[in-house]
Amino acid sequence: VNDVTGLRDPEMRAVVRAAGAGAVIMHMQGEPSTMQRAPEYVDVVGEVSDWLRRRVDEVIADGVAAASVAIDPGIGFGKTSAHNLALLGALRRFAEMGPPLLVGLSRKRFIGDITGAPVDDRLPGSLTALVWCIWRGASILRVHDVRASVAAVRMATALAGASA
C-alpha cells in the first residue's frame, strides 16, 4: 500500500495490519489539492526525517509489522525544486533510518525546472536522478520508463563494482 497520507488514517493502518501488506509511508506537506501552493520549511530535511520517524513509530506501535514498512520523502509532494534537491542530497540520512527507502521522481516537475524539458522529454534527467538515488541508498524506485531505468541501474551497478 503506497499511501500518500503517510498512513495517518487508523482505518488504513488496520487494513494494512489485517492484510499483512507492505506499506509505504510517504511525506506530503498539506493536501493534494493545496500542497504546491506555497510549500514552506525551516529545515526540509530535518522536518521530513522527523515526521517519517514519528509516522514509522506510530504505525509499528499500531501493530503493522516493522519489516513491512518502507519510507518515502515525498519528492514533489508539497515541496519546491529547492526542497526536492535538499532531500535528494540527504538521501543517505533517510536510508540510514532503517526501513527501506522508496523514491519516486520519474518525470517530476523539478526535473523539468532544472533541465527545461517538457514532461515527455524528462527521461535523461529522470535516469540521472535514479542513479543518484541508488548510489545514495534508495532500494525502491517508482519509475515510468522501466526498460531504460533497469538498463541505467545495471550500468551504474557495473560502474560502481568496477571502481572498487
Q: How many CB atoms lie within 10 A of CB 10?
A: 10
Pick from 50, 137, 53, 150: nearest CA to 100: 137
Measure the CA–CA gap between 30 and 36, rounded to whole angstroms.
Answer: 8
Q: Is 142 exposed, middle or buried (0-12, 13-18, 19+ CB in 10 A)?
A: middle
Q: What is the helix (H) or strand (E) element at residue 142, kind and residue range?
A: strand 140-142
Q: How many CB atoms lie within 10 A of CB 6?
A: 23
Provide the annotated active-site residues: 108, 142
